[in-house]
Every structure is written in C-alpha cells, then in structure tokens.
Structure 1
Amino acid sequence: MTPEQLALRDAVRSLLDKHSDVRAAVETPHGHDKDVWARLCDIGVLPIPEQYGGSGAELPETLVVLQELGRTLTPAPLLASMMAARALLEAGNEEACARLLPRIADGAVATLVWPWDNAQTGLDGTARYVLDGDTAEILLATDGTDLYEVDLATVTREHTPAMDQTRRLATVHLDGAETTRLGRWSPRIRDVALAALSAEQVGAAARALELTVEYTKTRVQFGKPIGSFQALKHRMADMHVLVETARSAAEAATDEVSAAVAKVYCSEAFFKVAAEMVQLHGGIAITWEHDAHLYLKRAHGSGQLFGSPREHLDRLSRSTLG
C-alpha cells in the first residue's frame, strides 16, 4: 500500500477500535452504527470525486477501508453506498451526479438493486437480499441495460432476517414503482462489487486468524499453551496461507475474470478460516458471548452474496470455453 493508504488504514482502524461496537449495532433498529458511519464519511472513505462533494478517494482507498470494516464486522453501509455511487458515475448523468453524490458523500445511505440474484426480475417483481435496502435514502436499480432512480414512496421495503446479523439485507417490492432513467448500466459494477466484497472478506479472515493465534497463546492444557502443540501450529500455518493468498487474489481483482476468481477464492478461504477459528477455540466459540460465531455467520452470508462460488465458477467456465 502507498503511504497515503497506510495512513488511511491506520486512521480507520483507530476509529473502529474506539467507536465500533458490533454487538450494540446489530441490536439497533437500523442495523448499523450511525455514529461510526458519520465519522467514516467525514474521513472521506467513499470513491466520490471532489467536484461532487467527495474527498477524491479512488476505489483502492475504499477497498482498504472495507478490509478494516471486515476486521471488526462493523455493520456500516459502505459496500452498498459505494456501489450506488460507482453506478452513478459510470452512468455519466451529470445532473444526477450533482444531485445525489453530495448526499451520499455526506452520509445518506444509498443502495443498488441489480440482477445478481436469479430470483430478481429487473424493475418488475421483487428484489431480495438488497444491501441496506430497507433503510436506504437513495435507491437505484437496473434492469441490466439502464440505470434508474427509484421513487422511495412508490416501493414497499422490509428487513430480511438473516443468519448474519452484521449484514443488513432487505426485500424490495418494485411492482408499480416510479422510476427515472439516469443512463446506461455498466457491467463493470459487478466486477467492482466482487472486488469490494473480496477485500472485506480478507479483512475478516485476517482478524479471525489473529484472534485464534491470541487465544492459543493463553489457553493452557496439559500445563502448556495449546498454541505450542505442533498439530495446532500446522493448522494455524494453513490458516495464514489461506489469508495471504486470499489477500493476493483480492488485490489482483481488476477485471471480470480476476474479480470472479477473487470472489470464489476469498469466499472459500474466509469460510475455512472461520470454521477453523471455531474449532481451535473449542467450546467457548459456540457461546453467544464470543465473537467466533459472528465471523462464521459472516463467512457463510458473504459467500452467497453477489452469487455463490459455484455460480461464478460456472460463469468462468462458460467464458473460458466460449
């Protein structure tokens, strides 16, 4: 990372260490910590140009922040808002950008309904698993060809309970919704979404490994810390390899193929690391008081978000064969 990105990482990590409380956040009606989100927006974590009220941060800087949010499982709406902002910029509608992007930069929650889920039917029917869809103040949608702004007063939205309580998902009923066309939909948004989610997964996996190593240094059995046992050292070494190779895959996600590869690999690596975290923590890991179950649930949920690894493998195989 560049010196500027390292400074951003340290600033965000310090902020989250002081103010992020994942357990309190998941119990709030809105499902995310408004104070933390406001502070993040003040730092300028969204990839919005200065001419539209942003800090001028680019996508690599936002990915650094997403890794930090993954580390703490902070339920902030950065993933949803950055995708909406990117879709606006790609559409090239200056009027819409000038009207909506400053609001997003100031902390208004935005989200995007896009057909990554086969159950979705564009602008007709019901969209499921929409990030922050029930609390978003700006709702964009695409039918796969064009990008639209949706009038919130004409849609019905409801929170979708999920195993992963640190991720706010919603069902949005779009039948009869009033929409305004903003421009062309860019297929590159899918690649950006997969790269962003992969970065978040890497951050969470890295923290799961750190917590596991710390625990094995203090948990004593047979008169020794369990981390000194060779069998457990090998398992944690395997976890380390998974985290670092996932990090490499996420950093290389720059196009359609590499973004899909990153989604597949990071999803599977994070799940394996989270599962090992539970195993190596023993009985304490399955208690509500410990965070291990939160990481395992996040791994399961993020593995299915934006398409399962199997779906992307099928897509890659078709593309390669074609």
Structure 2
Amino acid sequence: MAVLTEEQSMLRDAAKSWVQEKSPVTAFRKMRDSGAELGYDVAAWNEMAEMGWAGVIIPEEYGGSDFGYLSLGLVLEETGRTLTASPLLASALGGASAIILGGSDAQKSAWLSKIAEGAAIATLAVDEGPHHRPDKVATTVSGGKLSGKKSFVLEGMAANVFVVSAISGGAVELYLVAADAPGVTRTKLNLADSRGAANVSFDNVAVSDADKLTGGAALLEKTLDRARAGISAEMLGAAVQAFEVTLDYLKTRVQFGQVIGSFQALQHRAAKMFTELELSRSAVEAALSAIDNDAPDVPELVSLAKAKMGDTFHLVSNEMVQMHGGIGMTDAHDAGFYLKRARAAEAAFGNQAFHRDRYARIQGY
C-alpha cells in the first residue's frame, strides 16, 4: 500500500465517511429504480463538487487543489465501494486531464474552473465501435466542420463539453465541442450497470483552431491512461467491498450445522481473492503514482493495472454471487450490482485483452 501524506489520509477518510453516510449502495439502488435520466443523483454530485473532489487534479489557479492523481484515486476507490454513480471519473479525470495537458490558456480559463466546481461536465468521446479502439478514428474535420459518431460516451447525456478525437490533416487531433453546438445529437444508452452513457453524433459541427487541443495522438494516449488508472482505482474499491461483504457472509452463514467459512474449499477461494486484491492494489497505486511523477513507464504500468484489476474484479464479483448462493442471484441482494459494474468497468477504456496486448507491445514481445 502506498504511503500517504497526512492530507491524503484526511481526504480518503472524508470520502469514506461521506459515501457511507450519504451514498450507500441503497442510494444507488434508489437512483436505478427511479430511472434517473442522467444515471446519477444530481444532488449527491453537487455535494461531491462542494467538497472539492471535482477539482482534485485541477491547478489551483483554476479553482482546483492540484492534489494529484493518487489522491483522486483514493476518492474514486471509496466511491467504488458503494457503487456511487457520478461524473467524477469522466469529468474530473478524463475531460479535465485532456484540457490540463493539451489546452491553451483560453481553453483552460473557459472550462477548468467550471469543471472544478462541478458546474460543467466534460467527457471523452473517442470510441466509435462496440470495443475500445481509440486508434480507429473515422470522425473527420474538413473545411472547419467536424463529422462522425462516437459510442459509449460516459456521462454523454450530462456532458457540457466533449473532448472529441478526429482526423484532421491526416493526423489524430482532439477538439473541444460544446454539447449544445448545432449538429450535436446524443442518444441515451441503457447500460447493464445503470450508469449514464450515450451515443453521440456530430453532423458538420463548426470547429476552429481555437477548439483544438495541442498534442494529437500522444495527448489522446496520455489522457486515456489517466482515465484508465482512475477507473482501475474505482474498480479496486468495488472489488474490495464485494470481497468484504462475501467474507462476512462466510463467517455467519450456517449450513450442515457449521459456519460455511469453516469449509476448507471456501477458505482457499477466499484466500485467492485476498491475494489477488493485494496484488491489484499494488498495480493500481503504482500506476497513479507514476502519473503523478510523470514517469516514463506510465503506459505499461497503467495497462498492467487495468488488466490486473479487470481480472480481479471479474473473479471477486463472480465469487460474491456464487458464495451467496440463491440470494446472490436475486435483485434483492447487492451482489448483482457489483457483478454488473464489474462487466461494464472491465470494458471501459480497454478490457483485459486490450491491455495485455498493449503491455506486450510496449515491452517488445
């Protein structure tokens, strides 16, 4: 486990107490059952923004705390525990990262302070098919007009601005496109994990050099790596919580006159989950720390973390359902929520196969 500063420990503890008090899994269930249009509780998001979470990685001059990616990862881990749905990952991490890394002074002034206070939501619009393939870009900019379609855009219905990848002059570039710009159409998606997502189409949307971020394909990869590390942290929190709930059940459920946790086969499976979670935590924290330190090995550490975390959350969510038996199969129990979140999070920003392949290519295999 990473050695935290006093401020980071305080941030984590504050996040832990808030999610348990204000955003338990029962709140997520209530949001899902209400059919919330945006896929999250707006009042809860406003509270998160008031606590400064939306500005953790944003420079102080734009109203943030410039507290780093590991710090934001600590918050995401706690929100992951209770499956808190919010734009924190998409906006405060994905969208904000692109603007921080590649934005002009004018672009930063226009958006970062709004993102930091939760008044605006930014999100990445980079994928165009059913799978994460950011290098496959058919969206184009020609004659000052951007046209194309983006799929599975996280918080796509709530976003105020999209960071859109497009081919311009034969190269990949990123553009800031306001969600209310003429020619932008979004269609809500109903995902298994009940989060907010949309397909977004751009039909001859006017863009100029003032909308373009600096950095092209390299900026896209850097931004995606920050989003991948962030979602890995959220997955870690959800997987740890799923494991702890399952462990409590093993200690209390009596079958054949014995607590089922006394059965050696279940003990071995619990030990396997614990070991995998500890390894995953090391990988996730190494990736976030590498980003903070601007280390040269960020890409491989991020792919390692996302692939490892995907496998671990997949395992733990399966075991949670299986070890709870019949009740684990019902919607009345929370196990299904963790299983669905695991599957959606695995696919977001590249699944295990994508990141194993990327890791191998970076290492020259």
User: What is the TM-score with the length of structure 1 in the denominator?
Assistant: 0.94
Matched residue SS, 2:203: coil
Question: Following the alignment from structure 1 to structure 2, what is the Cα–Cα distance between the partners of residues 36 and 317?
Answer: 40
* Residue in 2 that maps onto 1:117: 133
Indicate whether 1:150 and 2:177 are aligned: yes
CA distance in 2, matches of 1:200, 1:64: 8
1:110 CA displacement: 1.6
> In the alignment, which residue of structure 2 is the partner of 1:101?
112
Q: Which residue pairs with 2:83 in the alignment?
A: 73
Structure 2 CA distance for aligned equivalents of residues 312 and 243 of structure 1: 18
Q: 2:159 aligns with which of 136, 144, 153?
A: 136
1:32 aligns with 2:40: yes
Q: How many residues align?
A: 321
Cα contact 1:132–1:170 (8 A) shared by 2: yes
Determine the C-alpha separation between the residues in 2 that align with 1:256 and 1:277.
Answer: 31
The partner residue of 1:247 within 259, 281, 285 is 281
For residues 307 and 316 of structure 2, the distance between their equivalents in structure 1, rounded to whole angstroms, comes to 14
Structure 1, gaps ≥5 residues long? none
Conserved in 1, the CA contact under 8 Å of 2:160 and 2:178? no
Aligned to 1:41: 49
The yes-or-no answer on 1:301 pairing with 2:344 is yes
1:211 aligns with 2:227: no
Tell whether 2:79 aligns with 1:63: no
The one-character-per-residue Cα deviations of 1:48-97 (angstroms, maximum 9, x if unpaired) are 11110113322111111111111111111111112111100111411111
Q: 1:120 to 1:288 in 2, by over 3 A?
A: farther
Deviation at 1:140?
Answer: 2.1
CA distance in 2, matches of 1:137, 1:183: 17
Is 1:7 equivalent to 2:17 in the alignment? no
Aligned equivalents of 1:121, 1:265: Cα separation in 2: 30
Counterpart code for 2:111: L
> Are 1:164 and 2:193 counterparts?
yes
Task: Tell me the equivalent position of 1:176.
Answer: 204
Q: What corresponds to 1:189 in structure 2?
A: 223
RMSD: 1.7
* SS state at 1:177 partner: strand
Amino acid at match of 2:272: D
- In the TM superposition, residue 120 of structure 1 has moved relative to its aligned partner by 5.2
User: Structure 2: any 5+ residue segments left out of the alignment?
Assistant: 141-146, 291-297
Pair 1:126 & 2:144 matched: no
Aligned mates of 2:124, 2:65 — CA distance in 1: 22
Assess if the C-alpha contact under 8 Å between 1:42 and 1:106 holds in 2: yes
Distance in 1, Cα, partners of 2:320 & 2:273? 9
Partner Cα separation in structure 1 for residue 252 and residue 236 of structure 2: 25
Q: Which residue of 2 aligns with 1:225?
A: 259
Identical amino acids, percent of aligned pairs: 39
- Is the 1:159–1:171 contact (alpha carbons within 8 Å) kept by the matching residues of 2? yes
Partner-residue secondary structure (3-state), 2:213: strand
| Amino acid aligned to 2:80 | G
Structure 2: how far apart are the matches of 1:24 and 1:220? 31
Do the aligned partners of 1:140 and 1:150 also contact (CA within 8 Å) in 2?
yes
Q: CA deviation at 1:134?
A: 1.3
The one-letter amino acid paired with 1:234 is: H
Q: Is the 8 A contact 1:145 1:184 kept in 2?
A: no
**Aligned mates of 1:275, 1:168 — CA distance in 2:** 24
Q: Is contact 2:156-2:198 (8 Å) kept?
A: yes
Deviations 1:194-233 (A, max 9, x none): 1111111111110000100111222111222212222211
Maintained 8 Å contact 2:187/2:199: yes
8 Å contact 2:176–2:213 — kept in the other structure? no
Stretches (4+) displaced over 3 A: 115-120
